[in-house]
Amino acid sequence: MGARKRLRANQNKEAKKEKAFAILRDCPTSPQKMRLVADLIRGVDVQKALDMLKFCPKEAARRVEKLLLSAIANWEQKNEGKRVDEASLFVQEIFVDGAGMLKRLRPAPQGRAHRIRKRSNHVTIVLGSKTAVENITKE
């Protein structure tokens, strides 16, 4: 690995240590259905997002709710002694990427077969603190 590439990799590693995030990999839901739920909570306060997900009838909302709780726990572990209420956490980033696809065959009329694609996705949630964002903008 070259020197510049190594320096950039170390910078990315240090930046990642400061962020509180959680990743859900290979979730057996289509990315389109998951993005509908992700768009609901993008940029919303954490407590309000949890309430929205709890009462959302979609099955994908249950998985995102569990992932959001995991991201909150990761934030608490990094920031020992701080309370979630005082930090005013919000969902800074949430994005859904496509994952592997299971390909299956379904019988069709006249001896044919249709391909069924069972999609899956990866979800990433990054939390941000409004107090930290305000401190950066003041400087």
The model carries a pTM of 0.85
pLDDT tens profile 79-123 = 887 888 788 899 999 999 999 999 999 999 999 999 999 999 999
pLDDT tens profile 51-74 = 999 999 999 999 999 999 999 999
Domains of the chain and any CATH numbers? 20-105+115-138 (3.90.470.10)
Where would I find the H helices in 1-139? 3-18, 31-41, 46-54, 59-78, 84-87, 130-138
